[in-house]
Structure 1
């Protein structure tokens, strides 16, 4: 007696994964899209490529709830600071080695790629300005004898991140591919 097994039809379901929202900078209230709704669990990726080289970056992403302090857009000419992708990075300036991100409402995760000439500390604070977490990295310039490659990914998950600071002990640091989720 032969036994045959008939399998049910297999269907290919395309589960829809949340797509990242690319946040382009706006330089005035007139440029900002008032219909942008920032919520949910989709990552928001900041589009640094639309920033002008040497542009002071502060309120360009405010409609997405992000304000920068001590940041400029830069297209690095020094090969020790290669971008992770594209051509534009954020650099801590005019004060060397310190950059801050202030969020209008708490986020649950943050990710970026860091290249630094000195040991760097990324500190995360809650809405009460209490330190939540701290991540330390070693210098990681391209072409140096560092054991850490440039563009080190720093990623953190915490339900109440309201402010993020980077401090590179009087060194230079660049950030690229910044993304976050609410």
Structure 2
């Protein structure tokens, strides 16, 4: 079972260096030739109009470090063009769910094993790093809720397990008409980091 809690500094010093959000660029760098934007959360009405800076050559990577631990995440990135559902920000204390950069990840909650992202306009590619206690399916849908792409983590990839898959495995889907993506680990628990999408 995934335990929630604050990660203390000594628990993150395994590599003698604190992880930083910038370390997640390896995921966003797979979008060669596109402008990359690190998306901060919207905390005030004065941040209107940011969505206008996103054009057809832009990839947006969510900065989860702006979120508070246990914060329900829904409309914080709406000005960047995405609304999340059944999502909470956590700083995992369970070593089976390590972070790949920073301290904060997303987890499906209150309904365990499910998280959805809806885009305000169609996107062409979505990627995320996932750590899951079970097989996980990332599905992309068009405006009519028809499945257009899918990526699968075939088995659990918890740290310190006998899994052949590393924690924080990158999954991605590509299609010109992605209006939403869902992450589903049937009756399992998972974390998401380095969530990026390209218009």
Shared topology, TM-score over 0.5? yes
TM-score bracket, normalised by the shorter chain, equals 0.7 to 0.9
Do the aligned partners of 2:35 and 2:57 also contact (CA within 8 Å) in 1?
A: no
1:132 paired residue among 143, 148, 162 = 148
TM-score (norm. length: structure 1) = 0.86
After superposition, the CA RMSD in angstroms is 1.3
Structure label with greater radius of gyration: 1
- Provide the C-alpha distance between the structure 1 equivalents of 2:48 and 2:42, rounded to a whole number of angstroms: 9
| 4+ runs deviating over 4 angstroms | none
Name the structure where helix makes up a greater proportion of residues. 2
Q: 1:59 to 1:35 in 2, by over 3 A?
A: closer
2:194 paired residue among 166, 169, 177 = 177
1:51 paired residue among 42, 46, 67 = 67
Q: Write out per-residue CA displacement over residues 60-99 of structure 1, whole angstroms, 9 at most, x where no aligned residue.
A: 0001110010000011111111111111100111111000
TM-score (norm. length: structure 2) = 0.79
Do the aligned partners of 1:110 and 1:178 also contact (CA within 8 Å) in 2?
A: yes
Q: How much does 1:26 deviate?
A: 1.1
1:145 matched to 2:183? The reply is no
How does 1:17-96 map onto structure 2 within 5 Å?
A: 18-28=34-44, 30-37=45-52, 38-96=54-112
- Provide the C-alpha distance between the structure 1 equivalents of 2:78 and 2:193, rounded to a whole number of angstroms: 18
Q: 1:36 to 1:129 in 2, by over 3 A?
A: closer
Q: How much does 1:31 deviate?
A: 4.6
> What SS is found at the alignment partner of 1:43?
strand
